[in-house]
Amino acid sequence: AIMDFSNMIGDYPYNSFTLVQSPLSAGLGMEYPGLAVIGPTKNARTLENVITHEIAHSWFYGSLGFNERRFPFLDEGLSSSYEERVMKDKYPDRRLWEIILRTEKQAKFLHADKLPAEALHEMQWLIPARNNSEQPLDLPSTDYDRFNYSQMIYTKASMGFTYLRAYLGDSLFDAGMRDFYRQWRFRHPGPDDLRAVFEQQTQKELGWFFNDFIGTTKRIDYHIVKIDKQQLLVKNRGEMASPLIIAGLWGDSICFEKWIDGFAGERWIEIPKGDYSEIKIDPHHIMPERFRLNNNIRTSGLFPKSDPVQPQLLAGIEDPEKIALMYIPLVNWNRENGLMAGVALYNGVITPKPVEYLVMPFYSFNQSKLAGFGKISYQFTPYNNLIRMATFTLQGTQFGAPGNLDYRKLMAGLTINLRKNRSTNPFQHSIHGRFTMASDLNQVINMQQAKMNRYIQFGYNFEKDSPVNPFHLLVSFEAGETFSKTALDFNYRQSYSGRDKGLDIRVFAGAMLGNSSSDSFHSLAPAGRSGRELYLYDGIYPDRFAVFPGSFLSRQITFSEGGLVSPVNHALGYSKWLLSLSLTSSLPGILSKTGIKPFANVLLNDHGLSTRYNSPLFIEAGFKAGIPNVLEIYIPLLVSNNIQSVTGPVKERIRFVISLDISKQSRAIIEN
């Protein structure tokens, strides 16, 4: 690597280079002049990558004294780009699976056996790029959050310098870098100095790179409109007029490649004469583009701009040039439908997409008819806007109900995530609105053909997303045809030492604004709701319409309003207003590994102030255990007399919650 970098950049600036292996490294390695400290790595290839990267810092930091706090993209982005260049020259056939998977057999199962090693950078960058959470590359290091520091400074900056080199060509790029090194070695250059040398050396105006790619978060999105003989119509649908490369292919063989200077709007581009099966923009994925499904056109056949569909069992690694269709055969069961067989169809889990869907059709053997769930979302990500992402969702559900009938639910929703004023700010704001049509719950329970009731919901979310003392505030309004109500739901964690440990505090306050309905369950529930109390049919319930305490499954609840666990909704009645406080704490030391947590709930409502009860407060305490966001069992051991009088012994108060929160689990995968 030292010889390679010396030829590309200039002579190695020191008399020796020393590597020290130590468990006290920062990340996988830390650079010093003529010295690098490296830590433990997974395999020999990763070790070689780390060593190559740290050697590159002998030029980009050790000799060219960039201000790494003010412009961290210079030394880390250039070092990463040169690291990738040397590794690709040495291992030209290296595949992605060799880095992130164990065997080629696994790669073939995931349809990832042909993806090049360089695709790793693209996969990593696509997460912030498609989430519209990128930051400009020329910011100080303190302005990046933890995730973006890695994906912007290392990944996107490296992709950018590789993109610039591909556009200029190795010879011209290397000449510019050698000239820059001669002028600025053992001095302190900045981005303007690098730009001045490159523009003087190449005689090209490089504002698209230094102003737009480095200084903004403008997106690249060139789209092939049509082809007419030797003319190709291309439209720039992005914000940046950067160079693009056009290629003609016959099968998998590239017949020609042609660089075009960037432009805005549409342009006809002349292509060389020849026989091509396909014309493609950027076949080697050099240009950092968020979406590539509009980058190709075939020269013959029906639907020349259509893209191949890639079916995949379970999950797979996204190929940006193919339409993902993932599937899982499923077996399902609930009390009304009985045993069901079906399939889940979806287009991804981790890497965001502009259109995401999940469809789960089932066939009920008990009722000999179809049931299932479907959801499709469209994500709109405007550039340089107060709105970071707006998500429009359509959702439908149909499952069995008592009397060999069905319940149905249709929902249309819009969620708007607002942009932070700075990335390191842990506070997030969002607003949402939903329109729902759902089968009348009272008619469903009474085994009648149910009409579809209409509901609207609006909410404002204010959240601190942090490992230390996080909180979430929801202010909501809901209205149906005969009622309206508003609520405030505040969740806070006072963090203890250790990840995900602390005292969880929930405060809920709600009030009915009006209710002319004879269905009392539209009012505020002092305790968690069972399936037969959820008029919007939320949650996953194996026995949704079970009558408590007829079976174990009838003990399932969903917390939505008042925080009590004990089954008091029927005895107390629903509330016109209520206040509740819920406390849950991690246990200290090794006891925390048991998953057991003590909890306590206190509730005050309009019923508590009546003369029927000796105390206005309803109080309970006990333990819960299980897997958070999956399954948790609650056991209220101690309760106030006004709860004891309507619930009976401890065994009659045991409840459980099923909550398959896929969004939280996906976020944990990304963060780790």
500-516 pLDDT, tens digit per residue, is 899 999 999 999 999 98
* DSSP 8-state class, residue 86: H
pLDDT at 46: 83
Tell me how far apart the alpha carbons of residues 324 and 347 are, in angstroms, rounded to a whole number: 5
| Highest-scoring range by mean pLDDT, 161-170, 340-349, 514-523, 569-578 | 161-170
Sequential DSSP letters for 161-222 = HHHHHHHH-HHHHHHHHHHHHHHHTTB---HHHHHHHHHHHH----HIIIIIITTS---B-E
Q: Which amino acid is at 346?
A: Y
d(Cα 466, Cα 462) in Å, to the nearest integer? Answer: 13
pLDDT of residue 669: 42
Helices (H), 301-432: none
Residue 613 has a pLDDT of 64
The whole-number average pLDDT for the span 490-506 is 91
Inter-residue contact 220 to 240 (CB < 8 Å): yes
Answer for the pair 633, 532: CB distance below 8 angstroms, yes or no: no
Q: Which of 432, 445, 576, 584 is nearest to 505 (CA)?
A: 584
Name 119's Cβ contacts closer than 8 Å, sequence gap at least 6: 96, 285
Looking at residue 383, its pLDDT comes to 96
Q: Residue 671 — pLDDT band, cuts 50, 70, 90?
A: very low
Share above pLDDT 90 across residues of the chain, in percent, rounded to a whole number:
78
Residue 93 CB burial class (10 angstroms; 0-12, 13-18, ≥19) = exposed
Give residue for tokens 């959801």.
375
- Higher local confidence (pLDDT), 154 or 43: 154
Query: Which residues are paired to 463 by β-bridges?
Result: 428, 472
Residue 499: pLDDT above 90? no
pLDDT of residue 131: 95
| Residue 227 contacts residue 205 (beta carbons within 8 Å) | no
Stretch among 12-16, 169-173, 418-422, 517-521 having the lowest mean pLDDT: 517-521
Percent of the chain with pLDDT over 70: 97
Q: What's the confidence (pLDDT) of residue 31?
A: 83
Pairing of strands 35-38, 278-281: unpaired
As given in the structure block, the two tokens for residue 556 are: 């399932």
Q: Determine how β-strand 502-515 pairs with β-strand 483-495.
A: antiparallel
Quickly tell me which residue has 């996906």 as its tokens: 666
CATH class entry, domain 2-213 = mainly alpha
SS3 content of the chain, % helix, strand, coil (to 5): 25, 35, 40
| CATH fold for domain 222-298 | Immunoglobulin-like (2.60.40)
Q: Determine contact, residues 472/463, Cβ cutoff 8 Å.
A: yes
Give the count of beta carbons closer than 10 Å to the beta carbon of residue 70. Answer: 14
Measure the CA–CA gap between 588 and 185, rounded to whole angstroms.
55
Q: What is the C-alpha to C-alpha distance for residues 508 and 472, in angstroms, rounded to an integer?
A: 12
The pLDDT of residue 345 is above 70: yes
pLDDT of residue 434: 98
CA distances from 36 to 17, 20, 75, 87, 270 (A): 8, 6, 15, 19, 50
Question: What average pLDDT does this structure show over 81-93?
Answer: 94
Map residue 534 onto helix, strand or coil.
Answer: coil
Query: How long, in residues, is the chain?
Result: 672
Q: Is 589 helix (H, G, I), strand (E, B) or coil?
A: helix
CA neighbours within 13 Å on the CB side: how many for 115?
28
| 296 touches 307 (CB < 8 A) | yes
CA–CA separation, 126 and 444 (whole Å): 45
Question: How far is Cα of residue 24 from the mean position of the Cα atoms in its chain?
Answer: 31
Q: Above 60 in pLDDT, residue 664?
A: no
Q: How far apart are CA 276 and CA 140, in angstroms?
A: 47
Q: What is the pLDDT of residue 629?
A: 84
| Burial environment of residue 232 by CB neighbours within 10 A (0 to 12, 13 to 18, 19 or more) | buried
Q: Single out the residue of 283, 164, 289 nearest to residue 220, CA to CA.
A: 289
Cβ pair 548, 655 in contact under 8 A: no
- Tokens of residue 95, six digits: 């595949």
Q: How many CA atoms lie within 13 A of 605 on its CB side?
A: 31
Q: What is the pLDDT of residues 211-234, one digit of tens each?
A: 999 999 999 999 999 999 899 999
Cβ count within 10 A of residue 259? 12
Residue 662 has pLDDT above 70, yes or no: no
**What average pLDDT does the segment 323-349 reach?**
95
Structure confidence by residue, pLDDT tens digits, 432-478: 999 999 999 999 999 999 999 999 999 999 999 888 999 999 999 99
What residues are paired with 527 via a beta bridge?
A: 564
CA dist., res. 354 & res. 224, Å (int):
19
DSSP bridge partners of 639: 620
Q: What mean pLDDT comes out for the span 384-413? A: 97
106, containing H or E segment: helix 104-109
SS3 6: helix
Reported as a single tens digit per residue, the pLDDT across 534-573 is 999 999 999 999 999 889 999 999 998 999 999 999 888 8
Rounded to whole angstroms, the Cα distance separating 361 from 608 reads 45
Region for 265 from its dihedrals, namely left if φ exceeds 0, alpha if ψ lies in -120 to 50, beta otherwise: left
pTM score, two decimals? 0.91
**Residue 24: predicted pLDDT:** 62
pLDDT per position as a tens digit, 284-293: 999 999 999 9
The counts of H helices and E strands in the chain are 15, 27
pLDDT at residue 668, as a whole number: 45
**Would you list the domain boundaries of the chain?**
2-213, 222-298, 497-672
**Residue 415 to residue 660: CA distance in whole angstroms:** 20
Element (H, E) at 38: strand 35-38
Q: In the structure encoding, which two tokens stand for residue 10, read together?
A: 């200039």
Contact 56, 62 (CB under 8 A): no
pLDDT recorded at residue 25: 53
CB of 453 closer than 8 Å to CB of 477: no
Q: Which residue has the tokens 């009860």?
A: 613
Q: Mean pLDDT over residues 295-315, rounded?
A: 92
- What mean pLDDT value characterizes the chain? 93
CA 427 to chain centre: 17
